[in-house]
Structure 1
């Protein structure tokens, strides 16, 4: 688990508030901001922010290093160096967002033995030694984490559904979109309900999760379905877009970015400013945002 962000220039009174650190603490309340000395006993991974900030940098380049470290320990600390002041704050927010699936944020609805069992069963489905399966697992957990960032008070069914709500997220290349729409929801719903039943969830919870994964538009579900679509879109841009741009034919790029962008309302666009996007993704997204929204949220 990612538990600490260690800063070389951490003062006795803490990081300078004027540089924006309260925003990082607000976005990631379970991650401790601390001086380097506080990392004793943790697995400390040193990351050079100047590399992260390089114009041509693709965040995928760091993934194996960070995830390997995160999966070897229950107490991971990231030591950031190579930048200062506002540049360090911006990078810290982007890095924590990129790797938020290692943070394991919970709320009252998911900080329960039932959800612990569900997460354990969900993880057991994935052979993390296989790179593509590992990426799929991280994407699912990332989508769950986005539901909590977007709606901190979200109850259990949307959180559980996010783990299996993968219809919008083609993980291994450009499978035709209609095939995903047709196959993935039913398969994900069956898997979710089976694991929920094994974890001890009641019938009402299982029914609601099934409806959400399959996008059942019953009265009152619209808000939760919208939340899942927004979380899936932000997860695509944050976690998957770089790989998709490498694997999918160029003619698919604009269409996929447009599909994901369509799930975001104007109030969601600020979250795009928390993401480190590969140059090709950023360029495509800037074009589409400029065409559909009057404010440049990526500046």
Structure 2
């Protein structure tokens, strides 16, 4: 898990060792309150991964290229030890804003929890969820990372989210482990919305059975079932809306780079438009803090059409 972020500013003076509590640092503290931010001298962990901010911000950069390096380093940490990210190569404010994008992509490694998800029940839920995934299969690995990422997005959007919403975030795509562990088939569907609705309905039933096995009460199980069964269609229910927002944001922040490499262009174009439609307009500003692969950004701009992109989305390219 990531617990610490070190920012190595070029020619950093000792008097400037502590980040100023303004600008991007405020955003970092708000979005990732569990991450300790400081200069290299404050390192408290032997597992330090050095990352170059200039490489991340270079024109044409695809964040997919970093995934196996970052995830692999985190997975290689000895049990019980955490990973520290050391970001280098830019002035302080640029480092902080870049760190926000990097932590957003790898927030599944942050694993924040709240009062509803602390304790033995959620420990059992997480363990059961992890055990479902055959990590020798690349598509299953992608599904697992996406599930953790959606969970973390839920907690960013709703820090007091209840256990049903958090569990639904984790298990919302569990049906894919049965239907698509080795190859995706969604691009062959004649009716894409009907395909997604069937995926949601089947996944809801599977999740409810699994959760009953770990001791979740029937009422909460049924709430999770309801959320998963409808998670492909935004409705007026507050929790369902949050789940849709989190799922859509996770697609853009984590999955889109791999998606465009795996699927034909026309299906990727349809997926981008479909996912944008699930994201509430008042949450689109968050796209400005996501590092998108160039082709994904072009498709997103195309899907937005006449809607003005946040200026920082252009500045982050």
Aligned-partner SS, 1:77: strand
Structure 1 residue 88 displacement after superposition: 1.2
Does structure 1 conserve the Cα–Cα contact (< 8 Å) formed by 2:288 and 2:310? no
What TM-score results when the alignment is normalised by the length of structure 1? 0.91
Deviation sequence 1:63-103 (CA, Å, 0-9, x none): 00111111222310001001113321221000000000000
- In structure 2, the gaps of 5 or more residues are none
Residue in structure 2 matched with residue 224 of structure 1 by the alignment: 239
Q: Partners in 2 of 1:18 and 1:149 — Cα distance?
A: 20
What is the DSSP-based 3-state SS (H/G/I as helix, E as strand, rest coil) of the residue aligned with 1:211?
helix
Match of 1:39 among 43, 49, 60: 43
Correspondence 1:48 to 2:52: yes
Larger displacement relative to structure 2 (167-176 or 124-133): 167-176
Q: How many residues align?
A: 297
Question: In the alignment, is the contact (CA less than 8 A) between 1:269 and 1:297 conserved in 2?
Answer: no
Rounded Cα–Cα distance in structure 2 between residues aligned with 1:45 and 1:276:
19
Partners in 1 of 2:71 and 2:309 — Cα distance? Answer: 37
Q: State which drifts further: 20-29 or 81-90.
A: 81-90
**1:150-169 correspondence to structure 2 within 5 Å:** 150-166=157-173
- Answer whether contact 1:168 1:232 (CA < 8 A) is retained: no
Which residue number corresponds to residue 149 of structure 1?
Answer: 156
Q: 1:167–1:298: structure 2 CA closer, same or farther, 3 Å change rule?
A: farther
Partner of 1:70: 74
TM-score (norm 2): 0.86
What's the counterpart of residue 289 of structure 1? Answer: 304
Q: Which residue of 2 aligns with 1:23?
A: 27
Partner residue in 2 for 1:189: 204
Specify whether residues 297 and 48 from structure 1 end up closer, same or farther in structure 2 by C-alpha distance, changes over 3 A only.
closer
Tell me which residue corresponds to 1:138. Answer: 145
Distance 1:201 1:25 in 2: 33
Deviates more, 1:162-171 or 1:6-15: 162-171
Partner SS, residue 117 of structure 2: coil
The 5 Å alignment of 1:174-185 reads 175=186, 176=189, 177-178=192-193, 180-185=195-200
> SS at 1:291's partner residue?
coil
On the 8 A contact 1:272/1:297 being kept in 2, the answer is: no
Distance across 2 between alignment mates of 1:167 and 1:118: 13
Q: Please, which runs of 5 or more residues in structure 1 have no aligned partner? A: none
Partners in 2 of 1:187 and 1:39 — Cα distance? 46
Cα deviation, 1:27-74, whole Å, max 9, x if unaligned, reads: 000111022133243311111111111111100100001111112223
